[in-house]
Chain A
Amino acid sequence: MEEMAASQENDSEMDCSDNEDCYDYNDYYNDEDSDVEHIDLLKIDPEYFEYKCLSEEEIERLLNETVEDLSNRLRISLSLAKVLLHSHYWNSNEVIVKYEENPQQTLISSRIDPPVPPRNIIFTPTHMTCPVCVTLHHVDRFFYLSCAHMFCKDCWTMHFEVQVNQGISTAISCMARDCVVLAPEDFVLKHLQHKTSIREKYQHFTFQDYVKSHPELRFCPGPNCSVIVHSNEIKAKRVVCDQCKTIFCFRCGCDYHAPTDCQVIKKWLTKCADDSETANYISAHTKDCPKCHICIEKNGGCNHMQCYNCKHDFCWMCLGDWKSHGSEYYECSRYRENPNIAHESVHAQAREALKKYLHYYERWENHSKSLKLEEQTLGKLRARINEKVMSGLGTWIDWQYLFTAANLLAKCRYTLQYTYPFAYYMDAGPRKELFEYQQAQLEAEIENLSWKIERAETTDRGDLENQMDIAEKRRTTLLKDFLDV
């Protein structure tokens, strides 16, 4: 910048434009004459940060001034100046240096000119066919960008309309295949002359693009807030929005995070999110033994748990004593509706609704997890059997019944899993009672089966096969009574 300024006769004016401080910043400049004051402020308050909360109109004016200044300086159209600034993150200085060094290359790299100059256009005919709509038009109706790809007016309009509707604005390019030339603002607006709403959309999107590409500007992240913060210092400093009072970091736009910097806080937050997954895992996959309160992770599909520590037998689902589950009236799968709910408050009803949903969801989810765990059990079983066979303990065919049992278990549990959404949507009444009774029966038998499969080597084969038969009967009975196809 220093070098540049030296070669310019009006350096003071230029400095001014570079920092975009001509606009509304006279006070700031006057203050800065006394540097001492600024340093003092920082000493008193290390978070001291100069910024301004501006409206869209003010920012627009600010951007336009930058554009006008560059346009005057390089003697190029406003529209081209805007494209150049946008592609250089609004750094007028850089644009000027590059442009004065090699104007052609700058225009090519900013996608204003095509990489290869087009051949001269010779208008011999008075009419020609537009390659997009394949319609013959007078040459007057044809328009083209610097690449000289000619298309008719209506096709350009339609092209812009479709692009804008997809949210594309500053990145709209020529219609020709593989052509990278961008359509500058004035070209687009000219073709959207009679399309007011599309025109407005286009202007809205371009404005968003400009602000986002400008390092000294930041949209306030507050919900529905249209404030744009401007600061010459691109630092991770605290900004409080004048309008919505949202506090955020100027540099990254996220929650303010001093003294940590933007990258570190990002890493930290990601890690925390990961660790909270661990917490979620613990709450989702472990429960405390109801007797000795040791933390237990469920690693098999069977819901009949035996505490490793105190040998207490309990049900994983309801944490009740397993003995009561052995009886005919298996209570665990039944959801008890609160009969007085109609008289209670809206809150109580909502809570009850959530409770009801969770009751079914938990069981649904639990069985889905059990299914996955039993798949692992099957894998281990296969390995153990393989070992036995290899060491001469029986033949493959002798152990096949275990796989049959495991497959049956999966089938039963799958059905059971799908009984819960069914029950959830059933109206209370004798039919639901019957359903839930059968569901409970199935549940009990499946857990017995799972228990026996997990302890296959010590379970009598006849006993296991008997259990398989019972479970499958329960399943088919339930389906017979309730499957409505």
Chain B
Amino acid sequence: MPLAQTATTVPVTVNADLCIADKGCTVCVDVCPLDVLRIAETEDGSKTAYMKYDECWYCMPCEADCPTGAVTVNLPYLLK
């Protein structure tokens, strides 16, 4: 029983130009109550935070605690 790969829009977006994951910052990943954020390595070797799991309570610690204002919490499409 193989699993499908169904696309979904994610509510949390990260501005890669502002994100300082490269410098070792993991604040948004650390504070998320649902633990849905991760750090990705891009093709050019730099790092940025992104939403890996679409399991968001739109609570906002990631946005509020980000030191550079890189994170935006939008409402999940199903309820916005």
B and A form one assembly: no
Chain B residues packing against A (C-beta within 8 Å): none
